[in-house]
């Protein structure tokens, strides 16, 4: 159908990749323009629907990202840092909206994404659900209001197949807390404690990562003060909420100028973040 946004999915053979495919197929304003897997994967050349164990979809699985990006207006990318950075260069050349849910990106990776964002829309978020992004806004506000007399700890739990820790969502919440305190998370994060660690530092933001079973994602931000604790939390029970958020970001990105955005922009929550009082 003319007028539909062509959305590609990178890493379509993975669990999240297949959910992204389903989310695109659900969206009436979009069409699945193509999918990629790593070169040499046994899905290459097959019909995507059949490879996923269902009816044919008329979409051939490709191991060539450039081929797929050439016929798309957006790409959904929940792959690995190495693949995402390679895709960012290609997406910038093709002027695609690059929607990134990949976690585990390092500082050098983020610098490369910033360069790519000068030429194309990049929406990157550790979590694309409405609830978590509202939680990040609330976390920043609470951190600002309570001040350093309350210690901040972030606890997250995910399934036993997750390979990185802390989760991208936990780090996103940590960034929100640090912003509320007007501090740099890199300088104040405590991402692992073992042995004789000494007393907790003022303005430290602690992270604890739990892994087990098939947990989709659970996050708590704990503000611990003298005589009281405030606990903010979010529980995800269905990964499709992340996939639908990514599709929403791809549609939103079609009307935006090149730049590096996140889900606060997509969901219209940036103004709420900006309303925080200055100290």
Instruction: With a cut of 70, list the residues of the chain below it in pLDDT.
Output: 1-2, 271-279
Q: Which residues are catalytic?
A: 158, 162
Q: Determine the pLDDT at residue 272.
A: 52
Q: CA separation (Å) from 89 to 31, 63, 64, 156, 272?
A: 23, 16, 14, 32, 32
What are the structural domain ranges in the chain? Answer: 5-124+240-272, 130-236
Other CB atoms within 10 A of residue 252 CB: 20
pLDDT digits (tens, 9 = 90+) for 189-199: 999 889 998 99
**5-124+240-272 with 130-236: one CATH topology?**
no
Angle among Cα 110, 275, 227 to the nearest 5 degrees reads 90
Q: Determine the pLDDT at residue 103.
A: 86
Do residues 253 and 159 lie in contact, with contact meaning Cβ atoms separated by under 8 Å? no
Q: Which CATH number fits domain 5-124+240-272: 3.40.50.880, 1.10.3720.10, 3.40.50.720, 3.50.50.60?
A: 3.40.50.720
Q: Determine the pLDDT at residue 152.
A: 98
What CATH fold (topology level) applies to the domain 130-236? Dihydrodipicolinate Reductase; domain 2 (3.30.360)
CA nearest 252: which of 66, 98, 26, 136? 98
Q: Determine the pLDDT at residue 147.
A: 94
Look up tokens 């100028």; give the residue. Answer: 257
Contacts of 53 (CB under 8 A, 6+ apart): none
């Amino acid at each position: 159908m003319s007028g539909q946004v062509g959305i590609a999915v990178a890493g379509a053979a993975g669990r999240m990749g297949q959910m992204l495919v389903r989310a695109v197929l659900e969206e009436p304003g979009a069409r699945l323009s193509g999918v990629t897997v790593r070169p040499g994967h046994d899905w290459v050349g097959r019909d995507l629907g059949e490879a996923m164990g269902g009816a044919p979809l008329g979409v051939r699985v490709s191991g060539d990202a450039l081929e797929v990006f050439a016929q798309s207006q957006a790409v959904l990318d929940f792959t690995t840092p190495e693949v995402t950075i390679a895709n960012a260069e290609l997406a910038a050349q093709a002027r695609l909206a690059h929607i990134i849910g990949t976690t585990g990106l390092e500082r050098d990776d983020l610098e490369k994404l910033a360069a790519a964002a000068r030429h194309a829309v990049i929406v990157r978020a550790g979590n694309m659900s409405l609830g978590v992004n509202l939680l990040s806004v609330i976390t920043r506000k609470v951190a600002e209001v309570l001040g350093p007399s309350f210690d901040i700890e972030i606890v997250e739990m995910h399934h036993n197949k997750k390979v990185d820790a802390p989760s991208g969502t936990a780090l996103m919440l940590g960034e929100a807390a640090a912003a509320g305190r007007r501090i740099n998370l890199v300088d104040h994060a405590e991402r692992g404690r073992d042995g004789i660690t000494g007393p907790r530092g003022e303005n430290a933001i602690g992270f604890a990562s739990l892994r087990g079973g098939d947990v989709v994602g659970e996050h708590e931000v704990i503000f611990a003060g003298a005589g009281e604790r405030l606990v903010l939390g979010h529980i995800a029970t269905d990964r499709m909420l992340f996939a639908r958020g990514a599709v929403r970001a791809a549609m939103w990105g079609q009307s935006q100028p090149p730049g590096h955005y996140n889900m606060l922009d997509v969901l219209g929550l940036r103004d709420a973040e900006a309303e925080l009082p200055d100290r």
